[in-house]
Structure 1
Amino acid sequence: MGETHKGACFCGAVEIEATGAPALMGYCHCEDCRKWSAGPVNAFTLWAPDSVKVTKGEDSILTYAKTDRSLRKSCTKCGGHIMSAHPGMGMTDVYASTIPSLKFEPAFHVFYAETVLKIVDGLPKFRDMPKDAGGSGETVPE
């Protein structure tokens, strides 16, 4: 089953658990993630949906869908971001900062062609997404 990581929104009204290990970890530079996170980059951890459970405050979760690719979930009390469901990928993105006990080990950057913050870390930088995630698989220089 694996280790269980507990997390919460900014005020603690919503609590979650993510069990096992994420399938992927990385950084997203797309405009939607930047606007949603109010930062230049979003640190993501992708999990199988059945590995992530809301343990408190289900009734305090607001779901917003700008597109059908991402169902972004936040707390109705504090506005704190919790996670996003990605139905097309069959994955749930729990923002790395939501589960502080998880050792964040990013494997790559996605949508780096849209970046507003150059990061030189030696990780692959995908123009959009890796091929096996439905993208072009093209990389761009750091």
Structure 2
Amino acid sequence: MSERYQGGCFCGAVQVEVVGKPEAMGYCHCDSCRHWSAGPVNAFTLWKPDAVRITQGEEALESFEKTPASRRRWCRRCGGHVLTEHPGMGLVDVYAALLPDLAFAPQLHVHYQEAVLRIPDGLPKMKDVPAELGGSGEVLEE
């Protein structure tokens, strides 16, 4: 049986379920994610779109696209962030904090050249994103 993880927005009006294992987990340091999350770094879990399902409150979801690379979605009732769709990568980021039962095991840092908080944890520090996702694949010094 596949693993299932559930979570929701801040008020609980929007509920999301993911099935299986994430494609990747890590930290994003890009300016957009930092502003969106209101923090110095954003913890992500990336899933194939067919592994992600809104189980409640889809009508309460709003969205915003600063660029075609990311469609950010949040609950209009509480403002709680739910996920970001990355159509060019074919992945959906369900924020790690929304999935309390998923053992968060980060594998890398992306957009580390934009970091405002250095995290010396031994994980790869990507200049942007891995080459297979359209980035340079360049790894920076920790």
Paired residue for 2:35? Answer: 35
Matches within 5 A, 1:11-22: 11-22=11-22
1:132 CA drift (Å): 1.1
Q: 3-state SS of the aligned residue for 1:66?
A: strand
**Unaligned residue ranges in structure 1 (runs of 5+):** none
Q: Deviations over 1:22-58 (max 9, x none)?
A: 0111100000000000000001111010111001000
Three-state SS of the structure 1 residue aligned to 2:25 is strand
Amino acid at match of 2:24: L
Give 3-state SS (helix, strand or coil) of 1:104's partner. coil
- The CA deviation at 1:141 is 1.3
- Across the aligned residues of Structure 1 and Structure 2, the Cα RMSD in angstroms comes to 0.7
* Structure 1 equivalent of residue 139 of structure 2: 139
Whichever residue aligns with residue 116 of structure 1, its letter is V
TM-score, normalised to structure 1's length? 0.98
Report whether the alignment pairs 1:55 with 2:55: yes
Rounded Cα–Cα distance in structure 2 between residues aligned with 1:11 and 1:81 = 11
Correspondence list, 1:79-94, <5 A: 79-94=79-94
Q: How does 1:110-125 map to 2 (within 5 A)?
A: 110-125=110-125
Q: Give SS of 1:129's match.
A: coil
Q: Which residue of 1 aligns with 2:65?
A: 65
Percent of residue pairs bearing the same amino acid type: 56
Match of 1:95 in 2: 95
Unaligned ranges ≥5, structure 2: none
Number of residue pairs the alignment of both structures matches: 142
SS at match of 1:2: coil
User: Once the 2 structures are TM-superposed, how far is the Cα of residue 2 of structure 1 from its aligned partner?
Assistant: 1.2
- For residues 29 and 82 of structure 1, the distance between their equivalents in structure 2, rounded to whole angstroms, comes to 18
Q: Which amino acid aligns with 2:100?
A: P
Report the Cα distance in structure 1 between the residues aligned to 2:116 and 2:8, rounded to whole angstroms. 28
Distance between the aligned counterparts of 1:38 and 1:123, measured in 2? Answer: 23
> Normalising by the residue count of structure 2, what TM-score does the alignment of the two structures yield?
0.98
Task: Quote how far apart the aligned CAs of 1:6 are.
Answer: 0.5
Report the Cα distance in structure 2 between the residues aligned to 1:129 and 1:53, rounded to whole angstroms. 25
